[in-house]
Amino acid sequence: MKITKNTKAPDALKLSPGILAVFKKHNLYCPSCKGIGEDTIEKIAICKGMDVQTFVDELNAALE
C-alpha cells in the first residue's frame, strides 16, 4: 500500500515500524493523540507546518 495525503494516520502507522520512526523524527506523537483516528497525513503535516508532499514521500520511503 502506498501512503497518500488522504491516508489516515492509524492506517499508515500499521504498515511499518519505519512509519513510527518518521513520526518520532518530526516530534509527532500521534499514536497518543485522542483524535488520531480522524487525522489524515495531510492534516498532520499542515498542522505542524510541514510540506505535505515531502512528508508523504518520507513516509513512503520508510515502507521500502
Q: Per-residue pLDDT tens for 3-50?
A: 999 999 999 999 999 999 999 999 887 666 666 778 899 999 999 999
Query: What are residue 8's DSSP bridge partners?
Result: 40
How many CB atoms are located within 10 Å of the residue 9 CB? 23
Instruction: Evaluate if pTM is beyond 0.75.
Output: yes
The answer to whether residues 7 and 40 touch, using CB atoms and an 8 Å cutoff, is yes
pLDDT of residue 32: 63
d(CA 5, CA 63): 15
Concatenated DSSP letters of 21-50? HHHHHTT--GGG-TTGGG-BHHHHHHHTT-
